[in-house]
């Protein structure tokens, strides 16, 4: 009786010891790596932003001047939208919004949508998605040129009723055998443009 | 001791975790769509196997059988989390591609399988070699399957090598078939199952070929006896 009890207690100690060592190892690694990981994430976002709005266009820190839109009716999704503002001489030159298209073929598609101050699109990029390789992933710039079709577009080019894929009577190409993905992207870009138009004066306001 | 080479051969061929034991199929099938993805996951798995086998062997006399399994799980989870953090800080873009499959190494049953079946009963040196051999065998399976699927599916080899080896490796991409339209089936999950099936069949054919001469000579000597 007392024998099995002492085995139990010893086992508890051993288990505790190993938990302690494990936690120690992970904490140590975390403390060594977490700054580098945060920096990696920052540089990764910045690299994507730079592709759309090169450093020559603005003189502020894009990652420092951001707005979080929690529940905009234009986006209608549950995902909050981050907006990065590019300023030059304290005036807005462009924004980059990071909306999420909720209705991709395999879940959400995270986008970056860069809009010039006058409401014209600079460009769009898909930064993360789970669309099917070979079908829906043609939204990636290294797979096809499709996403460049947004460059220079605006709410009047094409008119709003044509902001659809061709199959739905709009202006934008779909992919062979894949309509769901481009449909989701076109819709999300349109919503972002509409949001920008409705909130332009707020977004252009510079405090301080 | 030639038993080390025997342990290695066991891991690479006779008891290959992917082709014979059929363990760790979830990462194997999901990540083997390119050579580089397969190679990275294979190396991370090998490192985990070597470390966990070594640690488990070191403590095999101290840990009673009642709590053996929870302790193994603790060890493996700590090792994998550490590897994940290190990858996240030094190979960030690869980490983004492999994403969930790095933490999921914890659930690769071949790791706890080797801890339980081998490392908990054998000395440190042999356990180290066993982890290394099993890991290399698994890596080989991932790379071969990855090469098959990448060539058939996208007509390339070593795409994305720069994410692993740095910008200098950008030219490593081989366009095996130029202007290739792509063969979707090979990249999608069914391609992984079919490819793995073909490779297992191939291995069985080779094994049969190898064992034939031996059995023939046996029957010959039997005939000789009769005569
Ligand atoms: C395995 C599989 C994966 C698919 N992946 C995608 C995808 O990622 N994106 C997409 O738009 N369509 C994908 N499709 C095709 C869609 O199911 C759909 O047929 C196509 O988008 C046409 O849609 P529509 O009839 O509404 O125009 C996939 C189909 C299959 C069978």
Distance of CA A40 to CAs A27, B88, B96, Å?
19, 8, 11
Q: With 70 as the cut, is the pLDDT of residue A4 above it?
A: yes
Q: Is A37 on the interface with B (CB under 8 A)?
A: yes
| Count of the separate structural domains present in chain B | 1
Count of beta carbons in the 10 Å neighbourhood of residue A26: 18
Q: Do A22 and B78 touch (CB under 8 A)?
A: yes
Return the ligand 1 atom nearest residue A104 CA. 9
Q: What is the mean pLDDT of residues A85-92?
A: 90
Residues on chain B touching A27 (C-beta within 8 angstroms): none
Q: List phi, psi (to 5°) of A142.
A: -85, 0
Q: Domain for residue B26, yes or no?
A: yes
Domain ranges, ordered by start, for chain A: 1-52, 58-204
Question: B47 and B136 in contact (C-beta within 8 Å)?
Answer: no
Task: Domain of residue B85: give its range.
Answer: 4-208
Predicted complex ipTM: 0.76
Q: With 60 as the cut, is the pLDDT of residue B215 above it?
A: no
State in Å: Cα A64 to ligand 1 middle: 39
More confident: A148 or B226: A148
Two structure tokens written together for A6: 């002492």
Q: Is A135 on the interface with B (CB under 8 A)?
A: yes
Q: How confident is residue B100, by pLDDT bands cut at 50, 70 and 90?
A: confident
Q: Domain for residue B214, yes or no?
A: no
Mutate: best of A40, A132, A142, partner B, most B CBs <10 A: A40
List of residues 6+ apart from A113 with CB closer than 8 A:
A96, A97, A98, A99, A121, A124, A188, A189, A192, A193
Residues on chain B touching A44 (C-beta within 8 angstroms): 92-93, 96
Q: What is the pTM of this model?
A: 0.78
DSSP, residue by residue, chain A = -HHHHHHHHHHHHHHHHHHHHHHHHHHHHHHHHHHHHHHHHHHHHHHHHHHHS-GGG--S-TTTSEEEES--TTT-SSS-EEEEEEEETTEEEEEEEE-EEEEETTEEEEEEEEEETTS-EEEEEEEE--PPTTTGGGGSTTT-SGGGGGTT-BTTBS-GGG-SBGGGTSSB--BTTB-HHHHHHHHHHHHHHHHHHHTHHHHH----
pLDDT for B227 equals 43
Query: What is the distance of C-alpha B29 from the center of its chain?
Result: 11
Q: Do B85 and A10 touch (CB under 8 A)?
A: no
More confident: A176 or B78: B78
Q: With 70 as the cut, is the pLDDT of residue A177 above it?
A: yes
- Tens of pLDDT, residue by residue over A142-172, are 888 999 999 999 999 899 999 999 999 999 9
A136 to chain B: closest CA residue = B184
3-state SS string for chain B:
CCHHHHHHHHHHHHCCCCCCCCCCHHHHHHHCCCHHHHHHHHHHHHHHHHHHHHHHHHCCCCCCHHHHHHHHHHHHHHHHHHHHHHHHHHCHHHHHHHHHHCHHHHHCHHHHHHHHHHHCCCCHHHHHHHHHHHHHHHHHHHHHHHHHHHHHHHCEECCCHHHHHCHHHHHHCEECCCCCCCCHHHHCHHHHHHHHHHHHHHHHHHHHHHHHHHHHHHHHHHHHHHC
Please list every protein residue whose CB sits less than 6 Å from any atom of ligand 1. Answer: A 105-106, 131-132, 135-136, 167, 177-181
What's chain B's average pLDDT?
A: 86
Q: What is the mean pLDDT of residues B30-35?
A: 87
Q: With 90 as the cut, is the pLDDT of residue A6 above it?
A: no
- Tens of pLDDT, residue by residue over A123-133, are 999 998 889 88
Closest CA to A51 of A175, A134, A158, A142: A142
pLDDT for A81 equals 87
Two structure tokens written together for A38: 């945060």
């Amino acid at each position: 009786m007392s024998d099995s009890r002492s085995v139990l207690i010893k086992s508890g100690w051993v288990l505790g010891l190993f938990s302690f060592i494990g936690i120690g190892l992970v904490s140590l690694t975390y403390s060594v790596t977490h700054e580098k990981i945060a920096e990696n994430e920052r540089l990764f976002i910045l690299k994507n932003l730079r592709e759309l709005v090169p450093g020559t266009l603005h003189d502020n820190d894009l990652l420092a001047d951001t707005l979080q839109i929690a529940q905009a009716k234009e986006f209608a999704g549950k995902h909050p939208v981050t907006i990065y503002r590019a300023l030059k001489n304290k005036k807005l030159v462009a924004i980059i919004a990071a909306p999420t298209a909720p209705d991709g073929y395999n879940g959400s598609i995270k986008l970056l949508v860069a809009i010039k101050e006058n409401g014209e699109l600079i460009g769009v990029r898909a930064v993360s998605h789970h669309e099917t390789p070979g079908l829906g992933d043609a939204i990636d710039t290294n797979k096809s040129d499709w996403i460049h079709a947004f460059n220079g577009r605006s709410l009047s080019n094409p008119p709003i009723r044509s902001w659809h894929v061709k199959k739905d009577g709009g202006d934008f190409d779909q992919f062979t055998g894949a309509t769901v993905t481009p449909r989701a992207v076109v819709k999300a870009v349109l919503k972002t443009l509409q949001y920008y138009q409705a909130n332009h004066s707020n977004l252009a306001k510079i405090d301080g | 001791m030639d038993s080390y080479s025997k342990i290695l051969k066991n891991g690479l061929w006779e008891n290959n975790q992917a082709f014979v034991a059929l363990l760790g199929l979830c990462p194997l099938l999901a990540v083997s769509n390119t050579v580089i993805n397969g190679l990275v996951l294979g190396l991370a798995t090998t490192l985990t196997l070597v470390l966990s086998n070594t640690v488990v062997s070191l403590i095999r006399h101290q840990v009673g059988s009642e709590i053996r399994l929870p302790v193994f799980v603790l060890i493996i989870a700590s090792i994998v989390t550490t590897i994940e953090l290190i990858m996240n800080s030094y190979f960030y873009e690869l980490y983004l591609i492999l994403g969930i499959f790095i933490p999921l190494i914890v659930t690769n049953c071949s790791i706890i399988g080797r801890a339980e079946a081998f490392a908990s009963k054998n000395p440190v040196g042999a356990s180290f070699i066993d982890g290394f051999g099993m890991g290399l065998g698994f890596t080989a399976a991932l790379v071969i399957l990855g090469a098959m699927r990448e060539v058939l599916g996208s007509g390339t080899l070593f795409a994305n090598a720069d994410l692993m080896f740095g910008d200098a490796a950008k030219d490593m991409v081989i366009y095996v078939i130029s202007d290739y339209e792509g063969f979707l089936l090979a990249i999608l999950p069914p391609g992984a199952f079919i490819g793995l099936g073909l490779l297992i069949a191939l291995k069985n054919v080779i094994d049969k070929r190898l064992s034939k001469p031996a059995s023939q000579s046996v029957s010959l000597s039997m005939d000789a006896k009769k005569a």
